[in-house]
């Protein structure tokens, strides 16, 4: 047991079918509860979670699984290139939950959580800036970290880190 | 500054030059250009324990028009680079630049798309202070080195002759109208 | 989604799309959303658009630009403020001037090197960044730390909390006008930094807390050093209390300025002193305890009005609580290993490299390739001086993180700036920004 928060996990052990929470498959990852709605159900699931008591949106971020497509996902969840990951906190019951929604590369759009959690505005802008994921109904979806006229989305796996060769005498880059 | 460069110094002008250089190096006023972690060490240098005031520099001028020295303290990102150049252009001659920390000197540990690899790509630098972050003692050493440069350098020496800086040619739009 | 962009004179800067269009160019629906959107409560009173006084045709407003280089912004924060006379209407914080690509760099560094990267995000509380990253890695590795390592982490984190709040006192005092606070705040900080330098070798960005424990044991004589700190700081805090808290000018400048209600704060994802100053009792050390905070006895400091003065008072008293915690930790510190003994994770002690071939190989592999972390994803959040700092770590089984995202407290706290500044004077904007205490390294990463 490492020195981190322990999230109460539902008592029924994961059987052949994944457990459903508000209609979306659930899984656990190192003891933390994760919900995997699909894009259409995403907003409804997050709204249901908020009504359940998860009133603090800790984090909204993106992830690009271009070079790791074979990640473990519960049955019934179709892996796509991008993921939007939302971490919510229930202050009354003192627990966290994570929502992971798959976003395809060809149609990288997902609903915005701004109307539910105004605090997700800057986080979604960052996900847009870094990955190119568009959030529909977002009030101001512009770049937030890179200059306005930057081309490309830096955190994508096919965007190089941009290292310049360092002028040492003989050494090539070791990493 | 034309004129004085080729003058043969006699007793009077030699001493005047020394007086001017003494005045210049003992009241170098820095412009606030703290960007990241090095800015905290710069503030600590200005605080009581290390006391930059004994060098006459505790007056951090916010307006670049009133400042002599720009201590670039911290990593310069792509978005900040034009701002840096604008602030440098607004400073009046004579002006100096200390590049504080490895991120300002060479990009530091961040060799990537977001950080300008060395602030001397943008402005000519007089003294580089290495460290991540450089402790206040290192910054004070850099400042004393700068004072030495001011003391020994000639009054009218231009940067082109000394070869300082990266020698970048900037397009006309970067200059302040 | 987008407001019409006005033609702009680009003087060599690429700031075009980051402009704020004038009030007349903004549709009524957008204005209503701005006034009602941030305040939109889940189950609170519904906002009747007829109640809100919206002037769409006002041409007397002026948009000014503060920053990114400005003595009153904490780091490189740019604010575009719409003013009507001296009253602030709307604000748009523009960030990104310190964006370092740390999350991308994190994917290129091994897990041992990761702390050097992460520690430079929130550079006033570097040990917290290292701690949250290390905790995330340890949770993915599913290893257990020896107790002494955790207690050392807690001790140093609480010391770091005090030093971070001292910088807040210094900069807040200076921004409000008490310039001597700048000198006092940094004076106490030097004691703590000297101790941290003894432990880790660096005054800032220590790279001391690493996955598996801490880098080295506490130095000899640490109890005396920490006792000296615990003795000096509370008396100085009382001095600052006398200097600032009852002072009429300070009170006038900070009381009632930058008010935030609890519902607004939670809706805007504010955490830490910003949230606690509104009256919400939410402190991760007590409510979702990590490490051994449940064995310690401390109070959670909560404000009442959510104004600038409350945020100052909350942080001042949090320093006192931290000193209380440090005293308890010193009494409870066990002996033992300062890092986990799993050879796959922590490097062997240097002397053993001369004796054992295995130790040499382990050392070599750890520092060239790094240790592999099993596949998975995890989110860990801890309470840093600014709020909840979290690390979302995805591993694909290799020696480098696949995706490392740090949830920074100041990034979320900055979103409450427009709400706090609305209706106030432009001179209060400075006080409000310094009360939020943003650290742009964490905001921009």
Q: How far apart are CA A134 and CA A112, in angstroms?
A: 8
Q: Does residue C77 or residue C6 have the better pLDDT? A: C77
Under the banding of pLDDT at 50, 70 and 90, the label for residue B175 is: very low
Give me the half-sphere count of Cα atoms (radius 13 Å) on the Cβ side of residue A138: 23
Tell whether the model's pLDDT for residue A137 goes beyond 50.
yes
* 3 state DSSP class of A143: coil
Instruction: Check residue A15 and give its pLDDT.
Output: 43
Question: Are B111 and A163 within 8 A, CB to CB?
Answer: yes
Per DSSP, chain A holds a count of helices (H) and strands (E) of: 2, 8
In sequence order, which residues have a C-beta less than 8 Å from that of residue C335 and are 6 or more positions away? C148
Tell whether the model's pLDDT for residue B167 goes beyond 60.
no
Q: Does A122 touch chain C (CB under 8 A)?
A: yes
Instruction: Check residue C2 and give its pLDDT.
Output: 42
Instruction: Check residue C309 and give its pLDDT.
Output: 92
**E-strand spans in chain B?**
30-31, 69-73, 96-100, 127-129
Interface test with B, best of A148, A163, A171, A174 (most B CBs within 10 A): A163
Q: What rounded mean pLDDT belongs to chain A? A: 81
Residue with tokens 């800032």: C204
Q: How far apart are CA C69 and CA C76, in angstroms?
A: 6
* 3 state DSSP class of B43: helix
Q: How far apart are CA B162 and CA C2, in angstroms?
A: 51
Q: Does residue C28 or residue A131 have the better pLDDT? A: A131
Residue in chain A lying closest to B80 (CA):
A147
Written as six digits, the tokens of A10 are: 């539902």
Interface test with C, best of A31, A32, A52, A59 (most C CBs within 10 A): A59
**Chain B contacts of A161, Cβ < 8 Å?**
112-113
Element of type H or E holding B84: helix B81-90
**Chain A contacts of C270, Cβ < 8 Å?**
119
Q: Does A163 touch chain B (CB under 8 A)?
A: yes
Tell whether the model's pLDDT for residue A19 goes beyond 80.
no
Q: What are phi and psi of A95, to 5 degrees?
A: -145, 165
Of residues B130, B62, B121, the one with CA closest to residue B98? B130
Residue with tokens 């903004």: C26
Question: Which range is most confident: A8-17, A147-156, B160-169, C69-78?
Answer: A147-156
Give me the half-sphere count of Cα atoms (radius 13 Å) on the Cβ side of residue A56: 25
Instruction: Check residue C45 and give its pLDDT.
Output: 36
* Cβ–Cβ pairs < 8 A, chains A and C: 172
Interface test with C, best of A2, A34, A57 (most C CBs within 10 A): A2
In sequence order, which residues have a C-beta less than 8 Å from that of residue C210 and are 6 or more positions away? C112, C115, C130, C134, C339
> pLDDT digits over C136-194, tens only?
999 998 888 899 999 999 999 999 999 999 999 999 988 888 888 888 888 889 999 99
> pLDDT digits over C373-417, tens only?
888 899 999 999 999 999 999 998 888 899 999 999 999 999 888
Question: Are A161 and B113 within 8 A, CB to CB?
Answer: yes
> pLDDT digits over C318-376, tens only?
999 999 999 999 999 888 888 888 777 777 777 777 788 888 888 888 888 888 888 88
Q: Does A117 touch chain C (CB under 8 A)?
A: yes
**Chain B contacts of A130, Cβ < 8 Å?**
none
Sign of CA dihedral C337, C341, C345, C347: positive
**Chain C contacts of A2, Cβ < 8 Å?**
135, 138-139, 141-145
Instruction: Check residue C238 and give its pLDDT.
Output: 92
Question: Are C138 and A120 within 8 A, CB to CB?
Answer: no
Question: Are B78 and A150 within 8 A, CB to CB?
Answer: yes
* 3 state DSSP class of B13: helix
Residue with tokens 């030093």: C163
**Chain A contacts of C105, Cβ < 8 Å?**
161
* Residue C128 contacts residue C162 (beta carbons within 8 Å): no
Percentage of chain C exceeding pLDDT 90: 35
Question: Are A146 and B117 within 8 A, CB to CB?
Answer: no
Written as six digits, the tokens of A41 are: 């159900």
Instruction: Check residue B59 and give its pLDDT.
Output: 80
Percentage of chain C exceeding pLDDT 70: 86
Tell whether the model's pLDDT for residue C53 goes beyond 90.
no
The secondary structure of chain C, three-state, reads CCCCCCCCCCCCCCCHHHCCCCHHHCCHHHHHHHHHHCCCCCCCCCCCHHHCCCCCCCCCCEEEEECCCCCCCCCCCEEEEEEECCEEEEEEEECCCCCCCHHHHHCCCCHHHHHHHHCCCCCCCHHHHHHHHHHHHHHHHCCCCCHHHHHHHHHHHHHHHHHHHHHHHHHHHHHHCCCHHHHHHHHHHHHHHHHHHHHHCCCCCCCCEECCEECCCCCCCHHHHHHHHHHHHHHHHHHHHHHHHCCHHHHHHHCCCCCCCHHHHHHCCCCCHHHHCCCCCCCHHHHCCCCCHHHCCCCCCCCCCCCHHHHHHHHHHHHHHHHHHHHHHHHHCCCCCCECCCCCCCCCCHHHHHHCHHHHHHHHHHHHCCCCCCCEEEEEEEEECCEEEEEEEEECCCCCCCEEEEECHHHHHHHHHHHHHCCCEHHHHHHHHHHHCCCHHHHHC
pLDDT average, residue stretch B154-158: 52
Q: How far apart are CA C116 and CA C109, in angstroms?
A: 9
Tell whether the model's pLDDT for residue B87 goes beyond 60.
yes
Instruction: Check residue B168 and give its pLDDT.
Output: 53
**Chain B contacts of A154, Cβ < 8 Å?**
113-114
Instruction: Check residue B46 and give its pLDDT.
Output: 87
pLDDT average, residue stretch A118-147: 88
Residue environment code for C143-179, b if the CB has 16+ CB neighbours within 10 A, otherwise e: bebbbbbbbbbbbbbbbbbbbbbbbbbbbbbbbbebe
Q: Return the bridge partners of C81, or none.
A: C64, C91
**Chain C contacts of A142, Cβ < 8 Å?**
2, 17-18
Under the banding of pLDDT at 50, 70 and 90, the label for residue B2 is: very low
* Residue A31 contacts residue A67 (beta carbons within 8 Å): no
Q: Does C190 touch chain B (CB under 8 A)?
A: yes
> pLDDT digits over C83-120, tens only?
888 888 888 888 889 998 899 988 988 998 888 999 99
Instruction: Check residue C325 and give its pLDDT.
Output: 93
Give me the half-sphere count of Cα atoms (radius 13 Å) on the Cβ side of residue A158: 6
Question: Are A4 and C289 within 8 A, CB to CB?
Answer: no
Under the banding of pLDDT at 50, 70 and 90, the label for residue B162 is: low
Residue with tokens 């271009």: A66
DSSP state of A155: T
Instruction: Check residue A67 and give its pLDDT.
Output: 85
Q: What rounded mean pLDDT belongs to chain B? A: 80
Give me the half-sphere count of Cα atoms (radius 13 Å) on the Cβ side of residue C189: 30
Per DSSP, helices labelled H in B5-67 are: 11-26, 37-46
For β-strands C87-94 and C78-84, DSSP reports them as antiparallel
Of residues B108, C103, C108, the one with CA closest to residue A175? C108
> pLDDT digits over C221-244, tens only?
899 999 999 999 999 999 998 988
Tell whether the model's pLDDT for residue C438 goes beyond 60.
yes
Element of type H or E holding A134: strand A134-136
Which ipTM was obtained for this model?
A: 0.83
Q: Does pTM surpass 0.95?
A: no
Element of type H or E holding A47: helix A39-52
CA torsion, ordered A102, A104, A107, A108, to nearest 10 deg:
60
Q: How far apart are CA C44 and CA C244, in angstroms?
A: 37
Of the candidate ranges A95-99, B5-9, C89-93, C314-318, the one whose mean pLDDT is the lowest: B5-9
Q: Return the bridge partners of B77, or none.
A: B115
Q: List, as ranges, residues 60-89 from B with C-beta within 8 Å of A.
A: 78-79
Q: List, as ranges, residues 103-142 from B with C-beta within 8 Å of C.
A: 109-110, 112-115, 132-133, 135
Instruction: Check residue C379 and give its pLDDT.
Output: 93
Question: Are A154 and B117 within 8 A, CB to CB?
Answer: no
* Residue B56 contacts residue B143 (beta carbons within 8 Å): no
Q: Does residue C57 or residue C319 have the better pLDDT? A: C319
Question: Are C70 and B34 within 8 A, CB to CB?
Answer: no
Of the candidate ranges B128-137, C22-31, C49-58, the one whose mean pLDDT is the lowest: C49-58
Q: How far apart are CA A170 and CA A167, in angstroms?
A: 9
* 3 state DSSP class of B97: strand
Q: What rounded mean pLDDT belongs to chain C? A: 83
Span between the terminal Cα atoms of chain B, in Å: 21
Q: How far apart are CA B1 and CA B151, in angstroms?
A: 18
For β-strands A95-103 and A32-35, DSSP reports them as parallel
């Amino acid at each position: 047991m490492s020195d981190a928060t322990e999230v109460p996990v539902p008592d029924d052990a994961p059987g052949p079918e994944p457990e459903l929470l508000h209609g979306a498959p659930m899984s656990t990852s190192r003891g933390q509860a994760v919900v995997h709605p699909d894009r259409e159900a995403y907003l409804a699931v997050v709204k249901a979670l908020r009504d359940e008591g998860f009133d603090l949106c800790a984090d909204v971020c993106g992830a690009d699984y271009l070079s790791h497509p074979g990640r473990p996902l519960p049955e019934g969840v179709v892996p796509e290139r991008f993921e939007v990951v939302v971490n919510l906190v229930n202050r009354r019951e003192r627990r966290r939950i994570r929502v992971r929604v798959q976003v395809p590369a060809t149609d990288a759009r997902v609903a915005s959580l701004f109307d539910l959690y105004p605090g997700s505005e800057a986080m979604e802008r960052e996900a847009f800036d870094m990955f190119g994921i568009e959030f529909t109904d977002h009030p101001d979806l512009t770049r937030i970290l890179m200059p306005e006229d930057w081309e490309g989305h830096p955190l994508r796996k096919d965007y190089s880190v941009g290292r310049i060769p360092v002028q040492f005498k003989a050494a090539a880059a070791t990493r | 500054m034309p004129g004085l460069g080729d003058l043969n110094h006699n007793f009077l002008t030699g001493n005047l030059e020394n007086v001017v250089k003494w005045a210049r190096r003992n009241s170098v006023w820095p412009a606030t250009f703290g960007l990241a972690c090095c800015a905290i060490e710069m503030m600590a240098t200005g605080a009581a324990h290390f006391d930059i005031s004994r060098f006459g520099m505790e007056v951090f001028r916010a307006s670049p028009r009133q400042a002599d020295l720009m201590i670039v303290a911290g990593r310069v990102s792509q978005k900040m680079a034009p701002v840096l150049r604008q602030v440098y252009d607004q400073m009046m001659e004579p002006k100096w630049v200390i590049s504080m920390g490895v991120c300002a000197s060479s990009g530091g540990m961040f060799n990537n798309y977001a950080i300008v690899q060395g602030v001397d790509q943008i402005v000519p630098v007089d003294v580089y202070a290495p460290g991540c972050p450089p402790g206040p003692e290192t910054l004070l050493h850099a400042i004393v080195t700068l004072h030495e440069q001011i003391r020994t350098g000639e009054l009218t020496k231009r940067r082109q002759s000394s070869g300082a800086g990266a020698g970048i040619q900037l397009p006309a739009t970067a200059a302040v109208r | 989604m987008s407001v019409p962009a006005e033609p702009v004179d680009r003087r060599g800067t690429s700031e075009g799309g980051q402009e704020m269009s004038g009030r007349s160019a903004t549709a009524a629906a957008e204005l209503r959303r701005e006034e009602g959107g941030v305040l939109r409560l889940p189950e609170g009173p519904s906002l009747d658009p007829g109640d809100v006084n919206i002037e769409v045709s006002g041409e007397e407003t002026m948009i000014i630009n503060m920053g990114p280089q400005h003595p009153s912004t904490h780091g490189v924060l740019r604010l575009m403020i719409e003013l009507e006379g001296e009253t602030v209407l709307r604000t748009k914080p523009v960030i990104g001037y310190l964006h370092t690509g740390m999350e991308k760099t994190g994917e290129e560094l091994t897990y041992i090197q990761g702390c050097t990267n992460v520690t430079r995000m929130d550079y006033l509380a570097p040990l917290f960044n290292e701690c949250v990253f290390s905790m995330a890695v340890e949770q993915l590795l599913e290893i257990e730390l020896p107790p002494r390592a955790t207690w050392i982490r807690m001790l140093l984190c609480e010391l770091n909390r005090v030093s971070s709040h001292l910088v807040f006192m210094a900069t807040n005092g200076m921004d409000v006008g008490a310039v001597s606070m700048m000198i006092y705040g940094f004076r106490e900080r030097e004691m703590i930094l000297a101790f941290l330098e003894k432990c880790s070798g660096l005054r800032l960005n220590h790279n001391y807390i690493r996955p598996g424990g801490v880098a080295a044991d506490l130095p000899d004589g640490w109890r005396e050093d920490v006792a000296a700190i615990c003795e000096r700081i509370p008396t100085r805090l009382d001095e600052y209390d006398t200097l600032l808290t009852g002072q009429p000018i300070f009170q006038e400048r900070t009381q009632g300025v930058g008010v935030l209600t609890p519902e607004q704060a939670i809706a805007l994802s504010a955490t830490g002193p910003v949230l606690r100053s509104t009256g919400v009792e939410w402190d991760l050390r007590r409510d979702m305890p990590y490490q051994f905070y449940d064995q310690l006895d401390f109070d959670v400091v909560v404000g009442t009005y959510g104004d600038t003065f409350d945020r100052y008072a909350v942080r001042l008293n949090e320093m006192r609580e931290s000193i209380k915690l440090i005293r308890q930790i010193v009494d409870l510190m066990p002996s033992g290993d300062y890092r986990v003994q799993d050879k796959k994770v922590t490097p062997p002690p240097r002397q053993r490299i001369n004796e054992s071939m295995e130790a040499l190989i382990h050392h070599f592999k750890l520092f060239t390739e790094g240790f592999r972390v099993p596949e998975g994803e995890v989110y860990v959040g801890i309470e840093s001086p600014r709020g909840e700092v979290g690390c979302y770590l995805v591993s694909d089984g290799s020696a480098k993180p696949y995706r490392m995202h740090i949830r920074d407290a100041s990034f979320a706290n900055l979103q409450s700036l427009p709400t706090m500044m609305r209706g106030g004077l432009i001179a209060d904007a400075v006080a409000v920004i310094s009360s939020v205490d943003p650290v742009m390294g964490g905001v921009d990463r």
